[in-house]
């Protein structure tokens, strides 16, 4: 595009001593600063690093672009999860009036799918338990404030799974990078997203006793894990995190036995005495 400059005679005379006027000059766009592909790549990496630093400063985990593309800036297998120690099933973010960081939920779904696949391949009889079954009943997903997934399984099937068998002696990382271990809190197991990122799935071994399914270890937040074994005869199924998962039959009755009447319709945090649901 040509640039046309109109200067009056009077102004022109006054400017003679200051500038040299060149008539008919055409200005074009200059050359780009970053001419090489390498320089452009380095600039993109610099911009990305600055964005990550900004998102980290303001604890932004998920960015949805105007194109609909979702970008994650949270935890990975090589980093720790986004929250610290959980006391009485109450993660610290609940006290900050926040729900589970989206990266942690995404990693928890990956861990759960991997666990389901491994149990299926091993021939272990299992079912969705506790708050995870509650989330499946409400929305087909993990509760948006939950920090783990709960699975019950038949104790006598334990040795069918090589990773559970190995976890009896020591923590072990499987071929996909997930960590299997026996929980320090009691006689149950956990599958972590990785050795570094400790978002996890709980695996509770149950056995039959006097017509009930019982287990040997208890959480203060899992006071009513015991239930009549007829809930598993026959087993049912439910949609959860995009796949069909085994579950007890009469799911509503099962959940009301665990959490009380109206549990499906009335959300509560794990410890309502410490934090009321909004």
Residue 139 shares a structural domain with residue 224: yes
Residue 49 shares a structural domain with residue 120: no
Question: Concatenated DSSP letters for 124-179?
Answer: --EEE-HHHHHHHHHHSS--TT--EEEEEEEGGGGGGSHHHHHHTTS-EE-TTS-E
Could you give phi then psi for residue 28, rounded to 5 degrees? -115, 165
Cα torsion angle, 185, 191, 192, 195, sign:
positive
The answer to whether the beta carbons of residues 111 and 240 sit under 8 Å apart is no
Task: Indicate the pTM of the whole model.
Answer: 0.76
Element (H, E) at 212: strand 212-214
Residue 119 shares a structural domain with residue 252: yes
72, 88, 121 - which closes a domain: 72
In the prediction, which pLDDT does 185 show? 76
User: In this structure, is residue 264 part of a structural domain?
Assistant: no
Residue 54 shares a structural domain with residue 121: no
Owning domain of residue 118: 102-259
User: In this structure, is residue 276 part of a structural domain?
Assistant: no
As for how many domains the chain has, the answer is 2
Residue 145 shares a structural domain with residue 191: yes
72, 90, 117 - which closes a domain: 72
Residue 65 shares a structural domain with residue 175: no
In the prediction, which pLDDT does 154 show? 96
Buried b (16+ CB within 10 A) or exposed e, 161-193: bebbeebeeeebeeeeebbbbbbeeeebbbbbb
User: In this structure, is residue 272 part of a structural domain?
Assistant: no
User: In this structure, is residue 271 part of a structural domain?
Assistant: no
Residue 64 shares a structural domain with residue 139: no
Can you give 68-90 as a three-state secondary structure string?
CCEEECCCCCCCCCCCCCCECCE
Residue 134 shares a structural domain with residue 181: yes
Local confidence pLDDT in tens for the 278 residues of the chain: 444 455 556 655 655 555 555 666 666 666 666 677 667 667 777 766 676 666 666 556 667 777 777 776 678 899 999 888 888 888 989 998 999 999 999 999 999 999 999 999 999 999 999 999 999 999 999 999 999 999 999 999 999 999 999 999 999 999 999 999 998 877 899 999 999 999 999 999 999 999 999 887 655 455 557 899 999 999 999 999 999 999 999 999 999 998 999 989 999 988 888 888 88
In CATH, what number is assigned to the domain containing residue 219?
3.30.460
Kindly report each contact of residues 224-228 with a partner whose C-beta sits within 8 Å and lies 24 or more positions away, as own/partner.
224/257, 224/258, 224/259, 225/129, 225/130, 225/258, 227/254, 227/257, 227/258
Separation between Cα atoms, residue 97 and residue 151, nearest integer Å: 27
User: Token match 């929305």: residue?
Assistant: 139
Separation between Cα atoms, residue 227 and residue 249, nearest integer Å: 12
User: In this structure, is residue 97 part of a structural domain?
Assistant: no
Residue 65 shares a structural domain with residue 107: no
Residue 49 shares a structural domain with residue 132: no
In the prediction, which pLDDT does 99 show? 93
Residue 171 shares a structural domain with residue 113: yes
In the prediction, which pLDDT does 211 show? 92
In the prediction, which pLDDT does 1 show? 46
User: In this structure, is residue 29 part of a structural domain?
Assistant: no
72, 88, 111 - which closes a domain: 72
User: Token match 């055409």: residue?
Assistant: 26
User: In this structure, is residue 173 part of a structural domain?
Assistant: yes
User: In this structure, is residue 56 part of a structural domain?
Assistant: yes
Residue 54 shares a structural domain with residue 136: no
């Amino acid at each position: 595009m040509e640039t046309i400059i109109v200067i009056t005679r009077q102004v022109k005379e006054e400017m003679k001593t200051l500038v040299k006027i060149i008539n008919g000059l055409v200005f074009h766009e200059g050359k780009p600063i970053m001419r090489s592909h390498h320089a452009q790549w380095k600039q993109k990496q610099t911009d990305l690093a600055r964005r990550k630093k900004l998102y980290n400063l303001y604890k932004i985990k998920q960015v949805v672009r105007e194109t609909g593309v979702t970008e994650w800036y949270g935890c990975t297998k090589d980093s720790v999860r986004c929250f610290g120690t959980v006391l009485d099933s109450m993660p610290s973010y609940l006290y900050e009036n926040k729900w589970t960081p989206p990266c942690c939920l995404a990693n928890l779904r990956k861990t759960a799918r991997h666990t389901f696949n491994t149990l299926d391949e091993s021939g272990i009889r299992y079912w969705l338990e506790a708050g995870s079954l509650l989330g499946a009943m409400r929305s087909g997903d993990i509760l948006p404030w939950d920090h783990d997934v709960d699975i019950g399984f038949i104790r006598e099937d334990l040795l069918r799974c090589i990773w559970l068998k190995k976890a009896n002696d020591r923590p072990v990382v499987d071929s996909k990078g997930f960590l299997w271990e026996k929980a320090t809190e009691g006689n149950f197991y956990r599958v972590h997203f990785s050795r570094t990122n400790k978002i996890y799935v709980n695996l509770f071994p149950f056995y039959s006793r006097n017509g009930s399914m019982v287990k040997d270890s208890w959480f203060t937040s899992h006071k009513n894990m015991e239930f009549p074994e007829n809930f598993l005869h026959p087993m049912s199924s439910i949609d959860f995190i995009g796949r069909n998962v085994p579950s007890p039959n009469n799911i509503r009755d099962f959940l009301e036995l665990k959490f009380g009447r109206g549990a499906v319709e009335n959300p509560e945090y794990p410890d309502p005495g410490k934090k009321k649901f909004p």
